[in-house]
């Protein structure tokens, strides 16, 4: 079959998958238990005429037009969420919320295939990765369905004449903004702790990949009360800004770029609303001389090539001891060349395209930046030779050597399958290189020595440290960064605390009398 015939076959396969995925699905904002913005709502203030297409990154064709929620639509969502909080959800017990959330995960589990296809079409993820992330999203919601039942207050000993205790209470309405690289998983990271803590949510998914989030919210019908989980669709510059600026949003959680996160923080600071920010990264993986290279090469590859490198905690800087540097580079280049770029709907594909055309341009520009700075391109750097993939946003797994830490490719978040490899001579130099970055989201350590592992884990400035592996990310573990990588944490019991307020109660006691 010629390249042209293969391209045509991929195009037809994706068009058929698109028809199958959208069959019976209303793509619009989800507010107060109904679709809004499809021209079929009774409230003219929430009718939306502007749309924005989400595009299939494999064939670069529109998947579906998605309504852009206006400020009025966002206000309707916040109003609905507040009403539901006041009338019903805010008064539920942790036990009641636990039952509802478990019921929701049961429904989602029945629709894994549907959600997986939507996720793969919207982002370009290989179908196996998409399925794993949908299942990870469900697992996260299941965790919070259970964790919400262990929420407690504290009794504080203060003397025989004073009974002092604390209670925790939800904020009410929380705003949440998720990125396009992990749509289903990121939605669960936000919604799980927020709803478990007793809040109602207005969540804005990325305009580039909103489909799984919309469908997940729709699948909460008849499980969660109307108005508990609301989704508003549209770009950050309009819909996102309206959500961030809304006075009725009492707490805001944002995952995305550092520049936007800074603006979010500045905006909500004007009304003293708390904020959780999970921002960018430029994460190192430190390979010590005693490392098992078979294990570590695979770990570093997973950390930069999973999801085509479009991951906030991508292990994009390999710092390798000089004694094993040459062997590591040779093995890592070989591992990089082993990835199978192809149609994400094929099970054998291990790397799909970048999600957007803009990101494709960004990544290819960074390859030029690295070459111009004098780094050596050890492999990759271009688009695949396979003409059948010509329509998609594909970039080969890319490795740069002869990299200095002051080069842009070593300091700036590329958000693509581009790895830099640097050498070090001493433990102190390794830690200095690892920490010589404005970011601090994640890091990796490759070593067989428990002494090295624990000392390095303590000395590296990062919120998440992986040892001899990339991941797995589990809902039990707090996730977030140091420095410019953000404030606060997603996941874990700690995330529940970010969605609750603590109240201290003083009860003065008189001497008992009979």
Q: Residue 39: pLDDT above 60?
A: no
Phi, psi of 38 (to 5 degrees): -100, 15
Q: Does 156 reside within a domain?
A: yes
With a CB cutoff of 8 Å and minimum separation 6, the contacts of 83 are: 227
Set 278, 310, 396, 413: catalytic member: 278
Alpha helices, DSSP H, located in 354-484:
357-372, 408-411, 427-435, 450-459
Say whether both 312 and 220 belong to one domain.
Answer: no
Say whether both 157 and 193 belong to one domain.
Answer: yes
Say whether both 234 and 372 belong to one domain.
Answer: no
Say whether both 327 and 259 belong to one domain.
Answer: no
Other CB atoms within 10 A of residue 406 CB: 9
Say whether both 172 and 37 belong to one domain.
Answer: yes
> Whole-angstrom Cα distance, residue 485 to residue 452?
25
Nearest by Cα to 252 from 270, 237, 235: 270
pTM, rounded to two decimals: 0.95
Q: Does 511 reside within a domain?
A: no
Region 308-336 average pLDDT: 98
Tally of domains in the chain: 2
**Buried b or exposed e, range 201-216, using 16+ CB within 10 angstroms:** bbbbbbbbbbbbbbbb
With a CB cutoff of 8 Å and minimum separation 6, the contacts of 154 are: 165, 166
Q: Is 148 considered catalytic here?
A: no
Say whether both 274 and 297 belong to one domain.
Answer: no
Say whether both 389 and 359 belong to one domain.
Answer: yes
3-state secondary structure of 494: helix
Q: Does 513 reside within a domain?
A: no
Q: What is the mean pLDDT of the chain?
A: 95
Say whether both 218 and 262 belong to one domain.
Answer: yes
Say whether both 446 and 299 belong to one domain.
Answer: yes
Q: Domain of 123? A: 7-279+490-498
Confidence of residue 512 (pLDDT cuts 50, 70, 90): confident
Say whether both 303 and 357 belong to one domain.
Answer: yes
Token pair of 55 as six digits: 């595009």
Confidence of residue 48 (pLDDT cuts 50, 70, 90): low
Set 129, 312, 396, 413: catalytic member: 312
> Whole-angstrom Cα distance, residue 464 to residue 283?
10
Q: Does 334 reside within a domain?
A: yes
Helix (H) or strand (E) holding 277: strand 275-278
3-state secondary structure of 443: strand
Alpha helices, DSSP H, located in 159-245:
183-196, 211-218, 241-245
Alpha helices, DSSP H, located in 154-292:
183-196, 211-218, 241-245, 258-269
Q: Does 39 reside within a domain?
A: yes
> Whole-angstrom Cα distance, residue 330 to residue 114?
41
Q: Is 278 considered catalytic here?
A: yes
Q: Does 78 reside within a domain?
A: yes
> Whole-angstrom Cα distance, residue 479 to residue 184?
17
| CATH code assigned at 66 | 3.40.605.10
227 Ramachandran zone, left/alpha/beta (phi>0; psi -120 to 50): left
User: What confidence tens digit (pLDDT) does each residue in 122-160 have?
Assistant: 999 999 999 999 999 999 999 999 999 988 889 999 998
Token pair of 157 as six digits: 């000993």
Say whether both 215 and 300 belong to one domain.
Answer: no
| CATH code assigned at 429 | 3.40.309.10
Q: Does 464 reside within a domain?
A: yes
Say whether both 224 and 130 belong to one domain.
Answer: yes
User: What confidence tens digit (pLDDT) does each residue in 278-295 have?
Assistant: 999 999 999 999 999 999
Q: Does 59 reside within a domain?
A: yes
């Amino acid at each position: 079959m010629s390249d042209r015939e293969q391209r045509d076959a991929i195009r037809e396969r994706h068009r058929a998958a698109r028809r199958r995925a959208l069959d019976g699905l209303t793509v619009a904002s989800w507010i107060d238990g109904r679709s809004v913005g499809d021209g079929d709502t009774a409230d003219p203030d929430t009718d939306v005429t502007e749309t924005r297409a989400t595009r299939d990154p494999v064939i670069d064709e529109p998947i579906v037009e998605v309504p852009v929620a206006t400020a009025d639509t966002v206000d309707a969502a916040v109003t609905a969420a507040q009403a539901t909080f006041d009338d019903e959800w805010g008064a539920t017990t942790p036990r009641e919320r636990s039952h509802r959330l478990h019921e929701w995960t049961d429904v989602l589990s029945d629709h894994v295939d549907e959600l997986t296809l939507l996720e793969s079409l919207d982002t370009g993820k290989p179908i196996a990765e998409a399925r794993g992330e949908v299942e990870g999203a469900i697992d996260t919601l299941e965790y919070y369905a259970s964790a919400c039942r262990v929420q407690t207050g504290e009794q504080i000993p203060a003397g025989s004449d004073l009974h002092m205790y604390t209670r925790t209470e939800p904020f009410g309405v929380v705003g949440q903004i998720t990125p396009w690289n992990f749509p289903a998983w990121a939605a669960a990271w936000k919604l799980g702790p927020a709803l478990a803590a007793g809040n109602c949510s207005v969540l804005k998914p990325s305009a580039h990949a909103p489909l799984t989030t919309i469908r997940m919210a729709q699948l909460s019908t008849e499980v969660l009360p109307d108005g508990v989980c609301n989704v508003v669709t549209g770009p950050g510059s309009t819909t996102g800004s309206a959500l961030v600026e809304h006075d009725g949003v009492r707490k805001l959680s944002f995952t995305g770029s550092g520049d936007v996160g800074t603006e979010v923080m500045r905006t909500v600071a004007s009304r003293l609303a708390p904020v959780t920010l999970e921002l960018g990264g430029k994460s190192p993986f430190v390979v010590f001389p005693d490392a098992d290279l078979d294990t570590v090469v695979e770990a570093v590859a997973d950390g930069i090539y999973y999801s085509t490198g479009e991951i906030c905690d991508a292990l994009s800087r390999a710092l390798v001891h000089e004694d094993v540097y040459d062997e590591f580079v040779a093995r890592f280049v070989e591992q990089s060349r082993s990835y199978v770029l192809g149609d994400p709907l094929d099970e054998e594909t291990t790397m799909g395209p970048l999600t957007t055309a803009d990101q494709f341009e960004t990544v290819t520009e960074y390859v030029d930046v690295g070459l111009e700075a004098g780094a050596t391109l050890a492999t990759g750097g271009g688009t695949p030779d396979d003409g059948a993939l010509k329509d998609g946003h594909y970039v080969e797994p890319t490795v740069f050597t002869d990299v200095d830490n002051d080069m842009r490719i070593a300091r700036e978040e590329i958000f693509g399958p581009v790895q830099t490899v640097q050498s070090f001579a001493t433990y102190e130099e390794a830690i200095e290189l690892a920490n010589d970055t404005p970011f601090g989201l994640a890091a990796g350590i490759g070593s067989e020595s428990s002494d090295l592992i624990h000392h390095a884990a303590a000395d590296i400035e990062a919120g998440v440290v992986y040892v001899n592996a990339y991941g797995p990310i589990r809902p039990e573990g707090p996730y977030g960064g140091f420095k410019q990588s953000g404030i606060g944490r997603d996941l874990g019991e700690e995330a529940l605390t970010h969605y609750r307020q603590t109240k201290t109660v003083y009860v003065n006691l008189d001497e008992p009398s009979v």
